[in-house]
Amino acid sequence: MERKTITIFHGPQHPGITGNMSVELELTGETITKARTHVGYLHRGFEKLIERRTVIQAFTIVCRICVPEPDPNEANFALAVEQLAGIEVSEKATYIRVMVLEMARLAAQLLWMAGQSGSVGLGTVGQWSIYDRDLILDLFEALTGGRVYHMYIYPGGVRRELPEGFLERLGALLDYLQKRLVEYDRLFFDNASFQKRAIGVGVVKSEEALHLGYVGQVLRGCGLKRDVRRDNPYFNYAALEFDIPTQSGGDVFARALVRRAEMRESIKILRQVIAQMPTEGAIMQKLPKHRKFTLPKEDTYVAVESARGEFGYYMAGDGSEMIRRMQVKGPSLIHGFTLLESLLVGEELSNVALIMNSLGICPPEIER
Amino acid sequence: MQNLMQHFEIIQKTPTLYALHVSIETLFNTLHHLRYQSDFITLSQLTCTDWIEEERFELGYMLTNLERNCNLMVKCFIGRDDVTVASVVTLFPQAEVMERELHEMFGVGFEGNDTLYDFALEDWQDLPPMRREFDTLAYVQSHYDFRDGRDDNLDVKEQIKIRKAAAKSAKEAQGGA
Amino acid sequence: MKIQLKNSIAPLGALKKIFEHPKTLCYPEVKAQNVTGYRGFHINDLSTCIGCANCQDVCMNEAIDMIAIDVDKNPKNNSGCIPRIDYGRCCWCSLCTDVCPPDSLKLESECIWADDDSNRFLYLPKDKPC
Ligand code: SF4
Ligand code: SF4
C-alpha cells in the first residue's frame, strides 16, 4: 500500500507552540518526515527602530525583545553601552543587577515549567508554577515599578534604590520556593507520566552541539559544561559560588533536570547576593550629557546567560547620539531553525510541543 | 590564539573579544582556515552594519571557540549594491538561516545558499528594510492611521515666542498709557 | 532509567491542596493592593511644571502632546502648555519623569481604566503635588 504524505501547519495558533510561530510539517501517518520553521508573525522591527532613537530612548525598547525574560536584554544593552563609552558601574549596582537577573531566571524557569508540563497534559503544575512566578513578579513590582517589563537596568547602573525591607522579603520568598521545589519534584520531575513522555525524546547529539552553536540547557543537557556566567563572567559572577549542572542524556528529560538543578543554583546565588549586598554606595553613574549622550565609532559584542542560554548583542556606535546598529543574538535563532528542523524528523506529531518547549524557542528574539 | 595572531592581523578589543579585518576575496579562505585549523569552530552570529556614508556594508562573522570563552569577529567590507558573498553553509550549517535573514533585511546575496527565501517578511517587494535609505517613518505614515483628537498639540517654542511678544506688547501698551 | 511505581503515585499527593484556601482574589469584592512605586498613571504638579516640553522630546513613542493650559497655575510656565499623554502609545517607561527639570511629572500607583473606545485614551495627568 502506498503511504500518503500530508503537509500541515503546526501553529501559529496552537496551544502547543511556543509563541507566534509555526512549523510546517510533512507527515506520513503520525511520523514527521520533514519540518520547516516559519517566523514573521511577530516582526516588530526593533532593530530598525533603534537606529532612529537616542541611546536612552532605545533603552526602553530592548526589554521587549524577549517576553518571558526581559532582563538579560537590559543587561546586555547596559553592558554594551558601558563598554563602548567606558563607564564604570558601582559595586552596589552590580549586585542589584545580579539579583534582578537571577530573580528573572527563576521566574523564567517557572514559566518554562508551566509550558513544559502543559505540553504533556499536566495542567496542575502550570497553575502552581505560574502562581509562584507571580510572587517573584510581586517583588519586581515593588523594586522596579513594573511586573513583566522592568526597564530597570540602565546604562550606568540601576534606576531605583532597593525599597525598605526588600532583601528580607526576597529571603522569605526564597525559603518558600525552596520548599516548593521539593513539591515540584514530586509532582512533575519525578512524575511517571512526564518521564515516560520525555525520556529518549528529542535527543541532541553532543558531538555536533558545540560546532552548531547550541547554547544553554541544550549543551548542558548533553554533558557539555558551558555557561557564560562561568566562561566569560560579567558583573560579579566571578566572585559568586555556584555550580553548573549537567546531564548526559541529551533528551527532553535531561534538559528538564538541568533546569531543575539550575533553579536551586539561582536560589543559592540569590542568598549570597543578599548576604553580600553593600549597604552604601551610589546605584547610578550619570551618563555624560544624559539626553544627548553619544557613542564613539566603535563596535562590540557582549553576552549574558539568560534562562535559555547565551544571549548576545552586537552593538556599533557611529559617533552620534544614535546607535548605528544593534543586532540581537538570542538562543532561539539556531535552536528554532537548525536544531528544531533536524530534531523533529522521525518524531511523532504529539512530541512537537514537547520538544519545542524543552528547547525554549521563543519567536520574539528570532525576528525582533 | 598566539599562533593565530602571527598569521593574521588580529586586534584585541577586550580580554575576550578579538577582531580581524579581511578583504572579500580572502574571507572564505580565512573562515575555512579558522574553522579547521583553530579553536574557533562555532559561528554564533552573522552581523551586518550599513555605513551608508561610506557606501559600504560591514559583514561580521562572530566566531566562538570550543571553550566558549573567547569571541573572534571576522569583519569584511562589501559594497552596498548587488553584492554577492560566498556562503559559509558548508563550514557552518547554522549560517543558512542567518544568511537568509541578511538577504532579506539588507539585500546581500550569498552564493551557494539556495534557501534564500522569505524569512520574516512575506512577499516583501519594497527595499530591504534594514538598509538605511529605507525610511521607517514614511512607511508608517503611508500604511497606518494616527489616532484622532491629537491635533491640538502645540509647538512649545512657538508658544513661548507668542507669549513673549504678547507680554511685550502689553507692557508697551501700559507704558504708553 | 527505570520508571518506578512510586513515581506514578507520588504526584497524587497534590490532591491535598484541595483543602487549602484558594490563592486567587475574589475580584471585585477584594482588590489587589496598590503597590507604592508602581508605574501607573501620570500625575503632574501644575504649580511647578514649567512647560518646557522636555518630556515630549524624550518620549520616543510620541505619546505626549503639549496642550494649552486653562488656568495658569505657575507664573514660571513660559509656554502656557502642559503635557497630555496618549495611553494608547505610552509604555510607562517613565523616561519623561526622569528628564522633567522641576520633577513635577510623576507616576502614581493608580492604574485601572477601562473604556470601550480606544480613541478616548488621551489622559491629562491629574494635578497632584508629589
Ligand atoms: S512636565 Fe516637566 S518636562 Fe514636561 S513640560 Fe512640565 S516641566 Fe517640562
Ligand atoms: S512613560 Fe515613557 S512612553 Fe509614557 S509618556 Fe513618558 S516617556 Fe512616553
All domains of chain B, ordered by start, with CATH?
A: 2-122 (3.30.460.80), 135-177 (no CATH)
Atom of ligand 1 nearest to the CA of C50: 7
Q: Out of C44, C45, C50, C64, give the residue to mutate to test ligand 1, the one with the largest number of ligand atoms within 8 Å of its CB.
A: C50
> In chain C, what residues touch A191 (CB-CB under 8 Å)?
7-8, 10-11
Structure confidence at residue B2 (pLDDT): 67
What's the 3-state SS for A155-195? CCEECCCCCCCHHHHHHHHHHHHHHHHHHHHHHHHCCHHHH
**Alpha-carbon distance B71 to B16, whole Å?**
6
**Residue C123, H or E segment:** strand C122-123
How far out from the chain centre does Cα B73 lie?
Answer: 15
Q: Do A189 and A264 meet the contact criterion of CB atoms below 8 Å apart?
A: no
A147 Cα: distance to centroid of ligand 1 (angstroms)? 26
CB within 8 Å: B17 and A329:
no
Average pLDDT, chain C: 81
**Better pLDDT: A258 or C53:** A258
d(CA B168, nearest CA chain C) in Å: 13
The domain locations on chain C are 24-123
Structure confidence at residue B1 (pLDDT): 67
**Between β-strands C42-44 and B109-111, what pairing exists: parallel, antiparallel or unpaired?**
unpaired
Structure confidence at residue B154 (pLDDT): 75
Q: What is the pLDDT of residues C77-87, one digit of tens each?
A: 777 788 888 88
What residues have CB less than 8 Å from C84, skipping those under 6 apart? C64, C65, C66, C67, C122, C123, C124, C125
* Positive/negative CA dihedral, A213, A218, A222, A228: positive
Measured by CA distance, the residue closest to atom 6 of ligand 2 is C96
Task: Specify the residue for cell string 494635578.
Answer: C127
Q: Do A84 and A76 meet the contact criterion of CB atoms below 8 Å apart?
A: no
Residue B174 CB neighbours (<10 A): 8
C110 Cα: distance to centroid of ligand 1 (angstroms)? 20
Ligand 1 site, residue C46, Cβ cutoff 6 A: no
d(CA C104, nearest CA chain B) in Å: 17
**Alpha-carbon distance A261 to A245, whole Å?**
6
Q: Give the residue from A148, A172, A152, A135 showing the smallest Cα distance to A271.
A: A172
Q: Which residue of C has its CA nearest to B158?
A: C79
Peptide bond into A12 cis (omega under 30): yes
Structure confidence at residue A163 (pLDDT): 84
Residue C40 CB neighbours (<10 A): 17
CB within 8 Å: C8 and A193:
yes
Confidence of residue C1 (pLDDT cuts 50, 70, 90): low
Average pLDDT, chain B: 81
d(CA C41, nearest CA chain B) in Å: 19
Q: What is the pLDDT of residues C6-25, one digit of tens each?
A: 777 777 777 788 888 888 88
Ligand 1 site, residue C51, Cβ cutoff 6 A: yes
Point out the residues of chain A with pLDDT beneath 50.
Answer: none
Apex C68 CA angle, C67 and C73, nearest 5: 120
Structure confidence at residue B64 (pLDDT): 87
Q: What are A62's three cell numbers?
A: 530592548
Q: Which residue of B has its CA nearest to A41?
A: B120
The pTM score is 0.87
Residue ranges of alpha helices (H) inside B43-112 are 95-106
Structure confidence at residue B177 (pLDDT): 53
> In chain B, what residues touch C119 (CB-CB under 8 Å)?
147-149
Residue A358 CB neighbours (<10 A): 29
Best C2, C60, C91, C94 member to test A by mutation, with max A CBs in 10 Å, is: C60
d(CA C70, nearest CA chain A) in Å: 30
Average pLDDT, chain A: 85
Q: Alpha carbon of A368 to those of A36, A63, A210, A235, B83: distances in Å?
A: 20, 11, 25, 25, 25
Q: Which of B147, B155, B163 sits opposite C119 (nearest CB)?
A: B147
* A289 backbone φψ class: left, alpha, beta (φ>0; ψ -120 to 50): left
Q: Do C52 and B156 meet the contact criterion of CB atoms below 8 Å apart?
A: yes
β-bridge mates for residue C43, sequence order: C106, C126
Q: Which residue of A has its CA nearest to B98?
A: A333
CATH 3.30.70.3270 fits C24-123, yes or no: yes
Confidence of residue C2 (pLDDT cuts 50, 70, 90): low
Q: What are A58's three cell numbers?
A: 532605545
Summarize the confidence of residues B119-142 as an average pLDDT.
81
CATH 1.10.645.10 fits A55-309, yes or no: yes
